[in-house]
Every structure is written in structure tokens, then in C-alpha cells.
Amino acid sequence: MTEKPTLEEYQDALLELLTSGLPQKVILESLATDPRFESYQDYVKNFDPDMVEVACELMEKWAKRKKDGTP
């Protein structure tokens, strides 16, 4: 039996994707299809693609990374 990921793990993955430099379409597809985050996929389906793009821009400009490279 596989453990369900925690909200923290989902948020970490989201931040990683938002800082990845990938196009917003790829980010949305990753979030919507990754089986690790099945319990969040209904939520992700409501994401506005334009807002994901803006979030990526904001992360690029304002996010600081920890010493280990994580957001």
C-alpha cells in the first residue's frame, strides 16, 4: 500500500515545478497526472493557466532557495 503524500510534499513539488523554468502547460500536466498527487488533482484542474504563468514569474523574481537548493 502506497502512502498518501502530505500537503507539505505537494507544496514542495508545486514550488519545485514553479521554479523549474518549464512552460505552464507542462507544469499543469505534471500536477494533474502525477499519481503521487492524485488526491490534489481535482484542485489542480481549477488552476488558471495564466495564474500559473504569473506564479512562475513571481517565483523567478522573488523566491529564495535554501542552501540545499530547495525553494
**Average pLDDT, 10 consecutive residues per value, the chain (71 residues):** 73 89 91 82 90 92 67 53
| Count of beta carbons in the 10 Å neighbourhood of residue 37 | 19
Q: Tell me, what amino acid is at 3? A: E
Cα-flanking dihedrals φ and ψ of residue 65, to 5°? -105, 145
Count of helices and strands (H, E) across the chain: 4, 0
pTM: 0.75
pLDDT at 50: 94
Distance separating alpha carbons of residues 58 and 19, to the nearest angstrom:
9
